[in-house]
Copies of this chain bind each other. A is one copy, B any other.
């Protein structure tokens, strides 16, 4: 049985690959920009991933949150740093963020459990 993390990645990769093969130039270039924007610049990758995480959380996009949580995890961001970022997102975005916070917390636990 697939974990939530595996299921998320499998679906994401399958559909991204279809979208890119579909050959719509605008969509391909947005995907390309997305890769570039989170590369190290004057800000390091870790900081940028936390920015992506907070942006995704206040905009309440569970899949975007999961994606940035996984990248944060791979970059060695600590749970405390993630939680501090998510607490800012919850304060700025309000209590409607809380259901997404619950799902983010569960996803992080699965990342740690792997």
Indicate whether A43 reaches chain B with its CB closer than 8 angstroms: yes
* B36 & A92 in contact (Cβ 8 Å cutoff): no
* Cα-based distance from A22 to B84 in the complex (angstroms): 11
Indicate whether A18 reaches chain B with its CB closer than 8 angstroms: yes
**Binding site of A, secondary structure by majority: helix, strand, loop or mixed?**
helix
Interface residues of A in 13-39 (CB under 8 A from B): 15-16, 18-19, 22, 24-27, 29-31, 33-34, 36-38
* Cα-based distance from A50 to B16 in the complex (angstroms): 23
Query: Which residues from B are CB-within-8-Å of A109?
Result: 18
4 extra interchain contacts, Cβ-Cβ under 8 A, other than A11-B102, A26-B91, A56-B96?
A15-B103, A26-B36, A26-B87, A51-B51
